[in-house]
Structure 1
Amino acid sequence: MKTELMSTVFLSEKRKMALLMLLEGPATVDEIKDSLTGTTSAIMAQIKILIEEGLIEQKEDKYGLTFVGRIILKKVKPLIEALNILEENKEFWGTRDLSGIPDLLLDRIGDLGKVMVYEPDLNHLFEPPKELLTSLKETKNACTFYSYFCPSCPNNYSELANKEVKFDLILTQSVYERLRDEYAEQYNAMMRSANSNLFVCDDNIIKLGALSITDNLMLIAFFNKKGIFDHKKVISFEDSARKWGKDLFEQYKEMSEKVK
């Protein structure tokens, strides 16, 4: 029975996608067809299999998950989402050091949804992606962590401070000291703002390159498995990714000390 159910869910992309759709609520065959690719007869063939396996049922003109189907899909959905994330950029994820992510958040890696992997050319190696710069100009809230010195960080965040944008900025000790000692004007602007908070953590306590969450995106940058920061970054505009990023940021905040 286990093998049959697993095969039913995973051996057909149409069945898998139909089940995920029905997890959101019952739908007609036309609504299912609109969300998938294929003819009505092809969709009905998959629906018939799902009914025979006891995963969905028909009530009037709509199809919905059975209790068994809902139990299975609630467990399977995170796995499907994680596979979608990891398979789409298999080479990238296979070379990343993910030790900076707690197990509970690794279990939710599928929350990142549809992502883009940003890899700058040599002329823009030390510049943040334009998507992040644009978002910072428009956002009303920001949470950012850096374990390396980003040349544009002092100006970007002093501008946010001058606009009284609410933000939390976590820096490693060495990065913080450089900001404080070499960019006094920008540092003082951040410290004067009632809406900006600076936090400092030990240089070796957080094994991550960078993390930024704004009102419309989440950006994260990992070291590779050799411990080298190669400037590759992941960007997602999904609400679930922003929630995932905020949960990670809050854990980092607990490992940091606020600058007063």
Structure 2
Amino acid sequence: MNNLSAMTRYQISKVYRRDNPSKGRYREFYQCDFDIVRQYESMLADFEVIVVLNQLLDKLDIGTYEVEEKGLSVETADRIGAIVKKRGSPFEILTELKAEGSKFLENCGSVAALRELDILFQALKEANCLDNLFFYLSLARGLDYYTGVIYEAIFKGTTQVGSIAAGGRYDNLVGMFSGKQVPAVGVSLGIERVFAIKEQQAKDRNQVVRATDTQVLVSILGKDVISASKLVTPLWNANISAEMKVSKRVMDHITFPKQKGIPWMVLVGPLRKGV
């Protein structure tokens, strides 16, 4: 809509689902998106997006996951035969597809696709991103605007969330709105599903899931904002997550950290007579 022809961007925002949500799928939810929109060398952007997805899932430390590469619709897979219903390591399946007598070698489009996949897998090998990668051609994403390789990240732990991220190449989508053909590749991560996994992992370890990351509450009994700032600033400078509470009511200082699960509190105020 803004006539862009090149953009690399990420965002975390609220999105909405048009179709009827099934179990574990929300009508309104938060999503982390990463997209590359521009002219690029064959499979360059696909490679970068998959690497970003691998790095993101590793940094989240959610446990075992698999990224499935998919290249064909179900209808196309049915016409080609049983070989594309196999699931395995990228180079293992690719070798079968390129073997002598393969129907994939009978069409110039499929030959070009095999060449592109070989480039992608070789690049991902150099980036050490093949350990969690599987190739499965017979699966297809529900959305019909994908024009190339698509992929899903599937959580393999005990929490039943299934797919936690998905994406692919959608070269025609930008042109639908701008009238200008611009190649694009992207991936989206479901934030709520990651939260569900992390919360279950914390429960399995008998850890309390806190409502905040704050480690220290600086509580000033009274109205002395200056003292609060003087005490909290060294904590912030030391990269310690801290909040301030300034109130004359004693119970405010007691209930606030209890409700939010803040483990430490510095309480400053005048002593009563006789104490």
How high is the TM-score relative to the length of structure 2?
Answer: 0.27
Higher strand share: 2
